[in-house]
Amino acid sequence: MEKETQEKDLKNNKTNSGYYGNRLRIGASRGSSWIRQQFGKGMTYFLVIAASIVFYFALLRATNLTDVFWKVIDVLKPILYGLVIAYLLNPIVKKVDHYFIPFLEKKLKNEQKAAKLSRAMGIFLAIIVFFVIIIALFSMLIPELYKSVRDMVITLPGQLNDFVADLNELYSNDSAAGNLVKAGISEGAQMFQTWLRTDLLPRANDLMSSLTVGVLNILRELFNALIGVIVSVYILFSKEKFVRQTKKTVYAVLSFHNANVLLHLTRKSNEIFGGFIIGKIIDSAIIGVLCFIGISLLDMPYVMLVSVIVGVTNVIPFFGPYIGAIPSALLILLSDPVKGIYFIIFIFLLQQLDGNFIGPKILGNSTGLSAFWVIFSILLGGGLFGFLGMLMGVPTFAVIYYIVQMIINSRLEKKHLPGHSDYYDEMSYVDDEGNYVHSEENISQKENKGE
């Protein structure tokens, strides 16, 4: 009796509330009439024309739009720092979850509580590791860097004077080469003095203002990074929820096929970027430590400064070792030419060790690019975006290369042709009917014909 009463009330509610009382499906259609079709075509034409006009005026205001874009990026820097920090700390959190969740589930008998407690422990441990590494690096690097820079400032003028004196003594005769070198030294000294009087001293106030602005910018970036650490905690706590929301949105906006392609590319991009960035950081840290040990044993000057330069520039693929080795070698050459030559030999051997053993063991084939495309992506990224472009150009281009490769292989599959490049050697071809003929088949056919 009670059940019949509830069903009757529900029916009455539907009747009283009408059609809009029930939950409706967004985008539901009652069919399309001729008027609706014509209206749809008209709206399509209107939107295309309106989009073209908006695009035209956007090009005219490109500078203003760029300024607005960078302003938004500047405001969102704490969020960007948080995303980067969370991305770097995520492997530690995943490892903690992998080992602690099964252990806590046995103890607590509650999967949700075990997962939350494990996540809190993982984030806490990751933040501790993050700050311990930073504090340890600063405590080790800053005193040694200060000492190296101070020694360089004190000794470099004398070393330059000794270098000039040696040149004067070497070319003290009246030969043409000696007179040319003396004239060059005299002209260079005169130009330097003129630069000091006419350019450097009048711009001292501007230089001090720029230095002050630079210090303030560094402090602001440190503050943004500190807020980014806090943001990263929230991101790591809710990363599964963000992933589910994004995945739901992708399936809602795109077709099923395009959504699956996009999600696959996202996973592949994460694999490429994660493997490359984390692997490169570990590789560069190892190279910096090995450089510190090696030049310490060789009793070279500026040990910590040179090790930091070599380790940091090693993050850049291919060109990084040379970028770091050239200024380091010049510093050591000014102090002791013989040790400078030893340093060049040592760096060459160290980079051979890194390129042939350490790097491949850590990075593997994380990008899938050949040496040519690595050089291409570094030059292109560095030319467009500077140091950051040189660092991120390789994984970014690797993702683009993978997408192009997917498109090409997909089109080859539709034509029933092999996708691997090894099949397209000099003797292989595709006939006019679309049949692939391999080079081995050509050779066998020629042998059967007696050619």
pLDDT at 228: 92
CA distance 410 to 419: 8
B/e letters for 166-196, b = 16+ CB within 10 Å, e = fewer, are eeeeebeeeeeeeeebeeeeeeeeeeeeeee
pLDDT at 10: 47
pLDDT at 128: 93
CA distance 273 to 114: 30
Per-residue pLDDT of the chain (451 residues; tens, 9 = 90+): 544 555 555 455 544 545 444 544 444 445 556 676 666 677 777 888 888 887 777 666 666 667 777 788 888 889 999 998 998 899 889 888 888 888 887 877 777 888 888 889 999 999 999 898 888 877 777 776 677 667 666 766 666 666 666 666 655 555 555 566 666 666 666 676 666 566 655 666 666 666 677 778 888 888 999 999 999 999 999 898 999 999 999 999 988 888 898 899 889 888 888 888 888 888 888 888 888 898 888 888 878 878 888 888 888 877 777 788 888 888 787 777 788 888 888 888 888 888 777 777 776 666 777 778 888 888 888 888 877 788 788 888 888 988 888 889 888 888 888 888 888 877 888 887 778 887 665 445 544 444 4
The one-letter code for the residue type at 282 is I
pLDDT at 245: 93
pLDDT at 24: 45
Cβ contact 13:21 at 8 Å: yes
pLDDT at 244: 92
Place of tokens 């397209």: 424
pLDDT at 110: 78
pLDDT at 450: 42
Cα–chain-centroid distance for residue 350?
Answer: 24
Cβ contact 390:378 at 8 Å: yes
Name the DSSP class of 298. T
CA distances from 364 to 349, 350, 353 (A): 20, 18, 15
Where are the strands (E) in 352-435, listed by range? 429-430
CA distances from 174 to 106, 179, 186, 382 (A): 91, 6, 16, 47
CA distance 225 to 79: 9
Name the DSSP class of 199. I
Element (H, E) at 179: helix 176-195
SS3 content of the chain, % helix, strand, coil (to 5): 85, 0, 15
End-to-end Cα, the chain, rounded Å: 97
Selection from 281, 290, 340 nearest residue 314 by Cα: 281
Residues in the chain: 451
CA distance 348 to 352: 6
